[in-house]
Amino acid sequence: MPGSLPGGWGTALRAVPRVSRDDFRAPLRKGEPRVVLDNVRDWPALHRWDPDYLRSVAGEREVTVRETNGPPRNIFQNLAAGGRTSFGRYLDWVLDTADGLERIALSCSGAGEITRAVCADGFRCSYYLDAKLRQLSEDLLDDAPPPGWYRRGPIDTNLWCGVLGTSSGLHCDVTPNCNVQVVGRKHFVLYPPSQARRVYRIPQITHCRFDPNLPDYERFPRARRAAGWQCTLDAGESLYIPVGWYHQVTVVSAWALNVNFFWPRPLTQGLSAPPLWPFLLRRGWARLLDRS
């Protein structure tokens, strides 16, 4: 049977260090995650992004939502057909659904307990929004400028929106990124690149088979020895994640809204994540072939 320690975690998880914006420097190589405090203290988004404002600037814009049958668990690994709708209509679904989930958010502690409660709540299907912020609204993009501590501008700025229990599934990114919480709270479990085998990364892609929210150690016994980190972001807090760090992100408030910046990958960070080398080589080779 799946098992875990109290709080929903199968192994002890180290707290991600927290630093002030003035003290943080994005590493050129390797590096570790950091929660950056006061990173966006001047953001208009923190004061403006209520449902009425969001509808007024982007309500009519068409978006594509990720749709999954059943509860919003590991939504990137349990995809059904996606669909297009207006941002305003999607936001209405989020707020209506969040009203029914508020009791779970208030009564449960830990992402594991929340995941189990949401799975038992009778979802027929659920939806998660991952949209390019510029395409959604230039006003929203202006409300959420990139952090000034990175040397180059972002290659992507994404908006994420989902309800309680929505999980990305454990995966890594091939570019450094910063996740900024605007509304609600999100919990992160992270593992360094060296733990790829213990979290059962799926060959040739960046997602993993192991789910730290509902750990099944009979199927994934090596995960018992996985050395992980964790943190929870409140509105106004940010998490910097270097290349190759596996992370599972779970909404732990009735609903949540956050902005994710992705920057160009420093060569030295790519070199510091050996499990990603075959994937990066295949991607680079495919791009060369496309140009030829």
Q: Residue 167's beta-bridge partner residues?
A: 250
Low-confidence stretches of the chain (pLDDT < 50) are: 1-10, 286
Burial of 221 (0-12, 13-18, 19+ CB in 10 A): exposed
pLDDT at 215: 94
The answer to whether 254 and 223 have CB atoms below 8 angstroms apart is no
The amino acid at residue 207 is: H
The amino acid at residue 123 is: F
Give the three-class secondary structure for 91. Answer: helix
pLDDT at 105: 92
Question: In angstroms, rounded to a whole number, what is the distance separating the alpha carbons of residues 260 and 239?
Answer: 9
The answer to whether 112 and 214 have CB atoms below 8 angstroms apart is yes
Q: Quote the tokens at residue 5.
A: 């320690």
Which contiguous run of DSSP H or E holds residue 238?
strand 238-241
pLDDT digits (tens, 9 = 90+) for 93-128: 999 999 999 999 999 989 999 999 999 998 988 999
Q: Which of 45, 52, 64 is nearest to 129 (CA)?
A: 64
